[in-house]
Structure 1
Amino acid sequence: MMKKVLFFVACLLACNSLMAEDLMVNSPNKKMRFTLHTGKTLKFSVRAFGRAAIDPTKIDLQVDGKYLGAGAKIANSSIKEHQLSETPVVPVKFETVDNHYNELTVKFKSGIQLIARAYDAGVAYRFVLDKKGSVIINNEVFDFTLPGNPKVFFPTEESLISHYERYYEVFNMKNILAGTFCSLPMLNIVAGDLHVGLTEADLFDYPHLFLESNGKGQLVSKFPHVVKATVAEKGELGDRNEIITEEADYIAKTAGKRSFPWRVFPIAEEAGDLIEGNLVYKLSTPSKIKDTSWIKPGKVAWDWWNANNLYGVDFKAGLNNETYKYYIDFAANNNIPYVILDEGWTKSTTNIKEYAKDINVEELVKYGNERGVGLILWALWGPLNEDIAGTLDLYEKWGVKGIKIDFMQRADQDMVNFYEEVAVLAAERHLLVDYHGAFKPTGMEKTYPNIVNYEGVKGLENNKWSDEVTPTHNVTLPFTRMLAGPLDYTPGAMDNAHAQNYMIRFDRPMAIGTRAHQAAMFVVYEAPLQMMADSPSNYEREQKFTSFIAQMPTTWDETKVISGEVGEHIIIARRHGNDWFLAGMTGAEGMETAVALDFLKDGQYEAEILTDGPNAEMAAIDYLLKTKSVSKADELNIKMVNGGGFAVIFHKK
């Protein structure tokens, strides 16, 4: 009898092994391998640089109440190599993008497909559905499993209602308490040196992915459900904060024939390679805007952070035409193409079709046009959502160049659709879009390149009310939040102090770190629409420094990370046209280094070099600015203090 039982068990195991199948795809350089494990459950794993990067991770899609991946049988599969050359409308990192990958496509008899891509810089996968009509997506399973007990840079969230401006807490994976959850992107360091990021791309008509610890060293998927009803929060913030009172029991209702978002894993041995990988751009849908000639990125003179604090003028500064004309004059004098009219220009925060009594937008537009400066208008998302087309028609009639939309605070399917609707309608009216109070970018800015920035970052505005924006945080962001795309950090603070001298001041804010640390942000942080956050009066007092940062471009033809460690330092070189720009930032500890200039092309360059001054360890505002002639054969000896930095502009002779 025992022999029969053993024989029966052996047959079962043999049948299961026949049903289960592993399908693999390697990157072009063979250093990345994505493996799909099929059978009773659907899982994937990743090896990178000869070792485990992601352990078997369960994935699935629940459609109309049924999980389609569990036990699904393979109909067919294929692997193809793709090599494309793309020219971005808005070159955030490169003027030409080499999109080279190997792609595995697996079709299951259940009507679902899985597509996986292996790049030299990481891997990605997505589900594809082929069903008639509309479907309900009840859930998407993603049980993120990493080898060992990796170090995790974890953007903890307290609620799914959030501005997604997070400080990256550092944990070991197995120490994250059950129920603790985060937004994306996140970063993990596996086996001491393997950097494994996670974000998402090409996300439309679908909620954002969050991850929640199960307390067992694993992170599981968490999604906002479809919102059915909300009420305004009671109190003075009721114009912008809402409470969800009713949700559906599903995460999306959508078309049955569609692709779902890419789950994106940038992977690198060197932290800086994460930045150069550019995976979100490569995985996103190309531009749907036919005529993009009107899309002009650039810098913005910003009013809100500095609370319109002008001084040395012969009028009362504030929310009035005199103040904004001064901002326009400042922008024109420094070749800054835009001025933003932030909160306060409207008759009320909910009446965004009329301007306040001391503001005349059409007069300011005319004044700006005469000086080559365009205006961008701030608006709350709720009032805009009541009449998107009508409001944008009015702004187009006034002649403004763009809109900054604020306080979205959600990442569910309907909110994602709001972002797309605004982008489409704004593009039809030749308006740029800056999403503030926003979730992270997911590549929609490639599809609609009039989207020129997103916030979704704990940036400089937090200095008005907290001490959390530290140099360590600042040099964590390039390797974490910036993996998703552009970030509206809003640099340029002129009142600089080390932590022991820092004070929280809402109306006259300052920043932690040196003046050179702030200057470096204009090269390090990717932001096609880049704010200059401080007061024109402060900038004009130090015109030498202002002229230096004002000439920094906001788009880049080439990007090369020289060195970097998450939370410790970054040194990066970028090219715009014939000129090169080099910058570095440090966290809690300073550093001295020699930077080889071999990234330069042949010939001589005049280098404008801005560094921490000799007294910057005590007085964070201290900096030096000098010029010298250099070539690619030279190197620069750089010293950065704690919370320090440097920036260099190389003009081709």
Structure 2
Amino acid sequence: MKKQVFFGTLALLASQAFAQQAAVTGPDSRLKLDFQLQDGKPVYSVTYDGKTVLENSPLGFVSNIGDFSRQMSFVGQQADKVEKTYTQDRIKCSTVNYSANKLTVTLENADKKKLDIVFQLSNNDIAFRYEMPQYGETACMVIEREATGFDFPSTTTTFLSPQSDPMIGWMRTKPSYEEEYVPDEPVATPSKYSEGYTFPALFHVGDNWALVSETGVRSLYCASHLSDATKDGLYSIAFPNPGEMNGLGSSTPGLALPGVTPWRTITVGSGLKPIVETTVPFDVVEPLYEPSQEYKFGRSTWSWIMWQDPSINYDDQIRFIDLASEMGYEYTLIDGGWEKNIGRDRMEELFKYAHQKNVDVFVWYNSNGYWNDAPQDAKQCMSNSVARKKEMKWLQKCGVKGLKVDFFGSDKQQMMGLYEDILTDANEYGLMIIFHGCTIPRGWERMYPNYVGSEAVLASENLIFNQHFDDMEAYNACLHPFIRNTIGCMEFGGTLLNKRHNRTNDGGTIRKTTDVFQLATAVLYQNPIQNFALAPNNLTDAPALAIDFMKQIPTTWDETVFLDGYPGKYCVLARRHGDRWYVVGVNAQKEPLKLSLNLPMWEKGETVSYYLDDKKRQPQLEELKIKNPAEVKVVIQPDGGIILTK
């Protein structure tokens, strides 16, 4: 009898131990996530092709109504499949087929409060979030900190950008996601400001790569970033610094119950192709509202980038409207300072003139209420609903099509609410929105139909401000397709055809990259509204082939294919618009780069247009006959580019 009891007890313990574990793979079984409770603490690990990508990493959170990071018990698990096809007109491809295996693990804390952890795995992407029910009469909660972490092996190297201190930089406008990346840095290297690192974050893990980010952030949660790592390589979810927004607003998120957190995402592959081509930021979110009208995307001129503040006057804006008309562009952007320097009455005259030239208009606004000192007008028009709706009604009456709103400088939940309020109000008035001096988008192209871009990068304005960024332009261009631009629109404001970055093309900072490099970035950088840095003088002082190319360039894409590259060294990718392909490459290395490209979009015997730099860095346009689509030979000069198109 004692023997039977003993074996029965062993069987029960084995059953309980088994119940503490769960696993899920992607559809092709190469990507695997294992979940378990370790002494009551939820953890997960990730492998790809059997090789470790993440070691046991913590899950859960601590809230004002209970601790959901320890003393947890396993309640159950459920497996499902997710299949969906959707169309999206502002991301790297227009039609997406998403297939994933779903695992929901239900846990219970020491107070018998339940928590679901939901994992979805496609072939190369993991998305997971927490889902909380209402707990009796408790219908709200504050999450004080997350235990959520990403524990990389000690041999990992990183490509990360530091989160900045709050209320620093020009007119106290940071953080604005404009810090520099450091390539191939050892895991657990302390960040520049001791504030951790911004999303997205790229990791080279032995034979594999991993990109960590988040999506689905809106007014219901704060935006997050990664903490500094422990010595063992564990990065954790970090909330905004309390000092952001001038110290006002909560740095911790509050939720109504039932509620969910944003999705945290991990894209994994044995190469960089899954990283560059991922659509996971959009796969796991849905549109929040219907568009009030059909929004039209396209190209824009922009006086401020090359001619700076003095160009915000009536006569110069006429010149850039005329430039847009000459180029066949859909838009012009009138930047900050217009309220004082042009005035509202004359702005209405500009709008009418633009419409006569078949050009529509975007107008710049300062977001700020109490969170920074940026002086440019128009001010206090976007920070509260009364002023915002009054302003948007005027803009709608004048036929304006969109706004560029600047200077946000915080990831607090309150600021996420402002982003959402601007977008939702703008939709009511038929206005598109670009954000500048801002956070990264987190699935917003799919969530908000009138969202058309965010800066959140060391963008083209830095090429005007400081020679260092011109010296580093090719290097940075070879980072963005692997990191920042993988997760959403990147409103860079590129394609600078001036040799010198000033109004008369004879002073200021010096462009180090070639003309073909600049043309290539018009394809390399993805954003549905492109505010190009062309100037009226380029119609006569830039090569005719460059102007002709820029007259034809689209801004939306039906397909994106990564071909070759390494972050910070070089990048070659292909994008398709309709039935036309553009293959572009840029090289940040000091020597010419010889590549053999596999281009199955073209057949043997076809002839394509080939833009390249000669040995004197001058742009050339040739006809290239495809002899073998699997081995198309190209050479990219240092700080140069190539384009193949048909």
Give the TM-score normalised by structure 1: 0.86
Secondary structure of 2:97 counterpart: strand
1:380 and 2:395 equivalent?
Answer: no
Counterparts of 1:214 and 1:65, CA distance in 2: 28
Is the CA contact 2:324–2:331 (under 8 Å) kept in the aligned structure 1?
Answer: yes
Question: Which residue identity lines up with residue 643 of structure 1 in the other structure?
Answer: D
Shift of 1:422: 0.7
Instruction: Please list the CA deviations of residues 71-108 of structure 1 after superposition, one character each: whole Å capped at 9, or x if unmatched.
Output: 222333211112211111x2422121011111111222
Counterparts of 1:326 and 1:96, CA distance in 2: 38
Counterparts of 1:318 and 1:460, CA distance in 2: 17
Per residue, is there more strand in 1 or in 2?
A: 1
Change (3 A) 1:267 1:634: closer
Counterpart among 640, 645, 648 of residue 641 in structure 2: 645
Instruction: Please list the CA deviations of residues 315-359 of structure 1 after superposition, one character each: whole Å capped at 9, or x if unmatched.
Output: xx8333222122112111211100000112122xxxxxxx73497
Moved more, 264-273 or 336-345: 264-273
1:345 and 2:338 equivalent?
Answer: yes
Instruction: Show the 5 A alignment for 1:258-277.
Output: 258-277=259-278
Counterpart among 102, 120, 123 of residue 120 in structure 1: 123
Counterpart among 314, 326, 345 of residue 319 in structure 2: 326
- Residue in structure 1 matched with residue 35 of structure 2 by the alignment: 36
- Residue in structure 1 matched with residue 594 of structure 2 by the alignment: 592
Instruction: Show the 5 A alignment for 1:519-558.
Output: 519-542=519-542, 543-558=544-559
Moved more, 558-567 or 425-434: 558-567
- Residue in structure 2 matched with residue 566 of structure 1 by the alignment: 567
Question: Which residue identity lines up with residue 213 of structure 2 in the other structure?
Answer: T
Counterparts of 2:497 and 2:586, CA distance in 1: 16
Counterpart among 151, 160, 164 of residue 157 in structure 2: 151
Instruction: Please list the CA deviations of residues 499-553 of structure 1 after superposition, one character each: whole Å capped at 9, or x if unmatched.
Output: xx99xx9985543322211111111111111121131212443243112023111
Instruction: Show the 5 A alignment for 1:626-641.
Output: 626-628=622-624, 633=629, 636-641=632-637
Counterpart among 130, 133, 138 of residue 130 in structure 1: 133
Moved more, 380-389 or 213-222: 213-222
Is the CA contact 2:45–2:54 (under 8 Å) kept in the aligned structure 1?
Answer: yes
Change (3 A) 1:214 1:322: closer
Is the CA contact 1:65–1:138 (under 8 Å) kept in the aligned structure 2?
Answer: no
Counterparts of 2:388 and 2:145, CA distance in 1: 31
Counterparts of 2:346 and 2:507, CA distance in 1: 24
1:201 and 2:215 equivalent?
Answer: yes
Counterparts of 2:481 and 2:582, CA distance in 1: 17
Is the CA contact 1:321–1:359 (under 8 Å) kept in the aligned structure 2?
Answer: no
Question: Which residue identity lines up with residue 646 of structure 1 in the other structure?
Answer: I
Secondary structure of 1:157 counterpart: coil
Question: Which residue identity lines up with residue 637 of structure 2 in the other structure?
Answer: V
Q: For structure 1, which runs of at least 5 residues remain unmatched after alignment?
A: 1-6, 231-241, 310-316, 348-354, 617-621
Is the CA contact 2:292–2:430 (under 8 Å) kept in the aligned structure 1?
Answer: no
Change (3 A) 1:29 1:144: same
Instruction: Please list the CA deviations of residues 15-56 of structure 1 after superposition, one character each: whole Å capped at 9, or x if unmatched.
Output: 896386111111001111112222411111111122111111
Is the CA contact 1:493–1:510 (under 8 Å) kept in the aligned structure 2?
Answer: no
> Root-mean-square deviation (CA), in Å?
2.8
Change (3 A) 1:404 1:596: same
- Residue in structure 1 matched with residue 373 of structure 2 by the alignment: none
Change (3 A) 1:535 1:376: same
Moved more, 520-529 or 535-544: 535-544
Shift of 1:144: 2.1
Shift of 1:65: 4.6
Counterparts of 2:107 and 2:36, CA distance in 1: 13
Secondary structure of 1:408 counterpart: coil
Counterparts of 1:49 and 1:495, CA distance in 2: 48
Instruction: Show the 5 A alignment for 1:210-289.
Output: 210-216=225-231, 217-224=233-240, 243-244=246-247, 246=248, 248=250, 251-286=252-287, 288-289=289-290
1:477 and 2:476 equivalent?
Answer: no
1:99 and 2:98 equivalent?
Answer: yes
Instruction: Please list the CA deviations of residues 433-490 of structure 1 after superposition, one character each: whole Å capped at 9, or x if unmatched.
Output: 0001010110122111211101001121111222134311210111111122110111
Change (3 A) 1:302 1:456: same
Is the CA contact 2:214–2:264 (under 8 Å) kept in the aligned structure 1?
Answer: yes
Aligned residues: 599
Secondary structure of 1:305 counterpart: helix
Identity rate, percent: 22
Is the CA contact 2:287–2:449 (under 8 Å) kept in the aligned structure 1?
Answer: no
Instruction: Please list the CA deviations of residues 281-330 of structure 1 after superposition, one character each: whole Å capped at 9, or x if unmatched.
Output: 1122235225552x111111011111269xxxxxxx83332221221121
Instruction: Please list the CA deviations of residues 138-163 of structure 1 after superposition, one character each: whole Å capped at 9, or x if unmatched.
Output: 11222321113211011012314411
Secondary structure of 2:333 counterpart: strand
Secondary structure of 1:567 counterpart: coil
Change (3 A) 1:641 1:479: same
Is the CA contact 1:460–1:511 (under 8 Å) kept in the aligned structure 2?
Answer: no
Change (3 A) 1:83 1:414: same
Is the CA contact 2:613–2:636 (under 8 Å) kept in the aligned structure 1?
Answer: yes
Counterparts of 2:345 and 2:644, CA distance in 1: 39
Instruction: Please list the CA deviations of residues 207-258 of structure 1 after superposition, one character each: whole Å capped at 9, or x if unmatched.
Output: 111222244132222211678xx8xxxxxxxxxxx632x564x602221112
Is the CA contact 1:427–1:450 (under 8 Å) kept in the aligned structure 2?
Answer: yes
Counterparts of 1:94 and 1:594, CA distance in 2: 25
Is the CA contact 1:321–1:358 (under 8 Å) kept in the aligned structure 2?
Answer: no
Is the CA contact 1:181–1:212 (under 8 Å) kept in the aligned structure 2?
Answer: yes
Secondary structure of 1:203 counterpart: coil
Change (3 A) 1:87 1:544: same
Counterparts of 1:421 and 1:638, CA distance in 2: 48
Secondary structure of 2:139 counterpart: strand
Counterparts of 1:14 and 1:451, CA distance in 2: 53
Change (3 A) 1:172 1:331: same
Change (3 A) 1:553 1:339: same
Change (3 A) 1:261 1:139: same
- Residue in structure 2 matched with residue 313 of structure 1 by the alignment: none
Counterparts of 2:181 and 2:517, CA distance in 1: 19
Is the CA contact 2:115–2:131 (under 8 Å) kept in the aligned structure 1?
Answer: yes
Is the CA contact 1:176–1:215 (under 8 Å) kept in the aligned structure 2?
Answer: no
Question: Which residue identity lines up with residue 544 of structure 1 in the other structure?
Answer: L
Question: Which residue identity lines up with residue 243 of structure 1 in the other structure?
Answer: N
Secondary structure of 2:393 counterpart: helix
Counterparts of 1:196 and 1:519, CA distance in 2: 30
Shift of 1:645: 0.8
- Residue in structure 2 matched with residue 364 of structure 1 by the alignment: 350
Change (3 A) 1:288 1:521: same
Secondary structure of 2:489 counterpart: coil
Secondary structure of 1:521 counterpart: helix
Shift of 1:374: 0.5
- Residue in structure 1 matched with residue 408 of structure 2 by the alignment: 408
Is the CA contact 1:597–1:631 (under 8 Å) kept in the aligned structure 2?
Answer: no
Instruction: Show the 5 A alignment for 1:278-317.
Output: 278-286=279-287, 288-293=289-294, 295-307=295-307
Shift of 1:594: 2.9
- Residue in structure 1 matched with residue 616 of structure 2 by the alignment: 615
1:167 and 2:170 equivalent?
Answer: no
Is the CA contact 1:42–1:71 (under 8 Å) kept in the aligned structure 2?
Answer: no
Is the CA contact 2:596–2:631 (under 8 Å) kept in the aligned structure 1?
Answer: yes
Moved more, 61-70 or 367-376: 61-70
Q: For structure 2, which runs of at least 5 residues remain unmatched after alignment?
A: 1-5, 167-173, 369-379
